[in-house]
Amino acid sequence: MARASAPGKVILLGEHFVVEGCPAVALAIDVRACVTATLHGGDYVEVASQELGSVKFEGEREGGPLYPVYLAAKKVIELTGTRAGLRIKVESDIPPAAGMGSSAAVAVATVAAVAGAVGAAVSLDEISELAYKVEEVVHERPSGIDNTVATYGGVILFRRGQGFTKLDVKLEPVRVVLADSGVPRSTGSLVVKVLKLKAKYSGVLNSLYQSASALVEEAVHALQRGDFETVGELVNINHGLLSSLGVSCLRLEELIYTAREAGALGAKITGAGGGGMILALCWKDNVEEVVRALERVATRVITAPVSARGVAWET
């Protein structure tokens, strides 16, 4: 038996633009998905979670919300030539479909747990790559940011096709608050919607993508020198750019302006938009005021501590 966990993430800057090669910054947060894998003598994979019950996968059976977990296990089984069956238990504290990278964290933890159970040594790069292959089945054109953050943890500067850099940033003076609009959305269809808009108005939107890249570069310097007022302003500008791409909505704007009026340094959509979560960057001393204001209008408010720890095998 082996047990592994991986953190969720929030995108601080650059979502959507990252799909087309612009840089993005994401933070691993200390809310984790935990997966336990146990070998058995059968020739099937059984996947169980508290919310979704238990499903037996045999042969080519596809589909269902637990299918990606099976797929992650199958990738390790194929890689290692394992013959045994598996029982997999998923326990996740990461809210699903909320832009917090829950599917990638589960995929990363599953790959690590199954590799542990079959006694295969896998590198972090291999874990991240296999989880990306699972994400490709679940999401439309994933950039790879979610599996990277879930694998490596910390604060990550990511650029599609060029890998990532771990940033050495001291975030102690600030807090990241997440507030849920309660509006459901699908990352895949929002990504497609944005790509269609970009194709239709490429002459107009190309310069927006250039601005998004410049914004992230500027924000990385500000983060590195601890200039959080600048980071906050850039967070606000980033939200404006996302709004231009058509991924905001009335509920999200309400949450964003609530956070700003309560004194947040900056607030924006985080993740695909259309619903889901907003992120507010706040001074540590001001976080309670922002949380209180958001609690009046959001369905859920989370103060998310950044996690230095990526994927880890648990004992």
Among 5, 92, 143, 307, binds ligand PMV (CB under 6 A): 143
Specify the residue, 116 or 271, whose C-beta has the smaller distance to ligand PMV.
Answer: 271
Task: Report, in Å, the least distance between residue 141 CB and ligand PMV.
Answer: 7
Q: Which is nearer to ligand PMV, 87 or 185 (CB)?
A: 185
Q: By CB under 6 A, tell whether 274 contacts ligand PMV.
A: no
Cβ(36)–Cβ(182) below 8 Å: no
Alpha carbon distance 38, 121 (integer Å): 17
Q: Residue 37 and residue 88: Cα distance in Å, rounded? A: 5
The correct pick among 8, 68, 116, 142 for binding ligand PMV (CB under 6 A) is 142
272 sits near ligand PMV (criterion: CB under 6 A): yes
Please identify, using beta-carbon distances, which residue of 186 and 286 lies nearer to ligand PMV: 186
**46 lies in the binding site for ligand PMV (CB under 6 A):** no
Residues annotated as catalytic (active site), given as ranges: 146
23 contacts ligand PMV (rule: CB under 6 A):
no
Residues 181-240 touching ligand PMV, rule: CB under 6 A, are 187, 191
Compute the least distance from the CB of residue 145 to ligand PMV, in Å.
Answer: 5
* Part of the chain binding ligand PMV (CB under 6 A), chosen from 12-20, 115-123, 259-267, 282-290: 12-20
Residue nearest to ligand PMV (CB): 271
Distance CA 147, CA 229 (A): 29
Q: How many whole angstroms separate alpha carbon 84 and alpha carbon 114?
A: 11
- In the complex with ligand PMV, the residue whose CB is nearer, 7 or 276, is 276
Radius of gyration of the chain (CA): 19
Rounded least distance, CB 111 to ligand PMV, Å: 18
Phi, psi of 304 (to 5 degrees): -105, 105
Sign of the dihedral through C-alpha 42, 138, 52, 177: positive
Q: Which listed range, 10-18, 42-50, 125-133, 281-289, lies at the site for ligand PMV (CB under 6 A)?
A: 10-18
Q: Which amino acid is at 55?
A: V
How does DSSP classify residue 95?
P
CB of 165 vs ligand PMV, minimal distance in Å: 17
Only segment of 35-43, 141-149, 232-240, 299-307 that touches ligand PMV (CB under 6 A): 141-149
Which of 94, 113, 91 lies closest to 34, judged by CA? 91
**Which of positions 72-111 make contact with ligand PMV (CB under 6 A)?**
99, 101
Give residues 149-188 in contact with ligand PMV (rule: CB under 6 A): 187
Beta strand segments in the chain, E: 2-13, 24-40, 45-49, 53-57, 85-92, 155-159, 163-167, 174-180, 266-269, 277-283, 300-303, 312-314
Smallest distance, Å, CB 14 to ligand PMV?
8
Residue 74 main-chain phi, psi, to 5 deg: -60, -35
If one asks whether residue 310 binds ligand PMV (CB under 6 A), the answer comes out as no
User: Please, what is the minimum distance in Å from the beta carbon of residue 276 to ligand PMV?
Assistant: 6
What is the distance between the alpha carbons of residues 6 and 314, in angstroms, rounded to a whole number? 10
| Nearest residue to 308 (alpha-carbon basis) of 155, 127, 99, 144 | 155
Q: How many residues does the chain have?
A: 315
State the maximum Cα–Cα separation within the chain, in Å, rounded to a whole number. Answer: 59
Q: Which residues bind ligand PMV (CB under 6 A)?
A: 15-16, 18-19, 99, 101, 139, 142-143, 145, 187, 191, 271-272, 276
